[in-house]
Amino acid sequence: MSDLLQIFLLALLSMLNPALLAAVTVMMLLESTKRLMLGYLLGAYLTSIGLGLTIVFTLEESSAVSTSQSTISPAGDIVLGGLALLIAFVLATDRDRGLRERKERRKREKREAGEEEKEALPLRLLGRGSPRVAFAVGVLLSFPGASYLAGLGHIDSLGASTLATALLVVGFCLIQLILLELPLIGYALAPDWTQDAVNRFRAWLARSGRRAAIIGAAAIGAAAVIKGVVGLIA
């Protein structure tokens, strides 16, 4: 398999970043989807492109690639993916019924006592509708994983010119963030259709929230396990 093909496949694999999948799902549920996605994307570009160029050009013989790869445990991805798959199994088999009932009871008690409910931290951050906050979240959640570092290793091994190497790094990062780029392109070229598609997605989640959670947990879990396995054999 050629290095270019391996770089392309590793970029596609990096696209299945569990943190990115979760963030995109959260932003699709909120009103300021376009602004949040743009802010998150710019933050993700800053981290992924900036680190990629730094690793390839600044550190001798890409020592950072091999060193960083050894410090990032693919087993961690597998464990996290297994936990997500376990969550999907629990939801699909309705084994969380008791937990749901207790949660609903606590919510009722809080409403009766006039207390406000607190949302999860990602929802609280992204739910502010601030592109600046989304930018910060994008920066923090876009640090390199094993597939990204392996891709940089293949880019460095090509021995291409400075310009060609820089373009390959940028192209790699563009591919791995395509889940954010496609909706934003849709908003730019067909805003009404894209907004209608987002609204349909929200309506589907409202009707089938539990099923969506099962599918989401299973997808994120599978993506993490695949990343971990590839990291182990790479």
How high is the pLDDT of residue 4? 81
Q: What is each CA distance from 163 to 2, 159, 160, 166, in whole angstroms? A: 20, 11, 8, 5
Number of domains, the chain: 1
pLDDT band at 179 (very low <50, low <70, confident <90, very high): confident
72 pLDDT higher than 60: no
* Each residue's pLDDT tens digit, 156-166: 888 888 899 99
Copy the structure tokens of residue 26.
């959260």
Long-range contacts of 209-215 (CB under 8 A, 24+ apart): 210/91, 213/91, 214/88, 214/91, 214/92, 215/88
User: Using 50, 70 and 90 to split pLDDT, how confident is the model at 185?
Assistant: very high
How far apart CA 227 and CA 72 sit, in angstroms, is 12
Say yes or no to pLDDT of 173 above 90.
Answer: yes
Give mean pLDDT, residues 195-208.
79
From the number of C-beta atoms within 10 Å of its C-beta (0-12, 13-18, 19+), residue 192 rates as exposed
User: Token digits for 30?
Assistant: 């909120």
Read off the pLDDT of residues 73-124 as tens digits, 9 standing for 90 and up.
Answer: 677 778 877 888 888 888 788 877 777 677 777 777 766 676 655 555 555 6
CA neighbor of 148 nearest in space, from 42, 77, 61: 77
- Tell me how far apart the alpha carbons of residues 68 and 47 are, in angstroms, rounded to a whole number: 15
Q: Which domain holds residue 34?
A: 3-233
Q: What percent of the chain has pLDDT over 70?
A: 82
Q: What is the mean pLDDT of the chain?
A: 78
- Regarding pTM above 0.95, the answer is no
What mean pLDDT comes out for the span 146-157? 81
Q: In a 10 Å sphere around its CB, with 0-12 CB exposed, 13-18 middle and 19+ buried, how is residue 130 labelled?
A: middle
Which phi and psi (to 5°) does residue 118 adopt? -95, 135
Q: Report pLDDT for 71.
A: 40
Instruction: Indicate if the pLDDT at residue 45 is higher than 70.
Output: yes
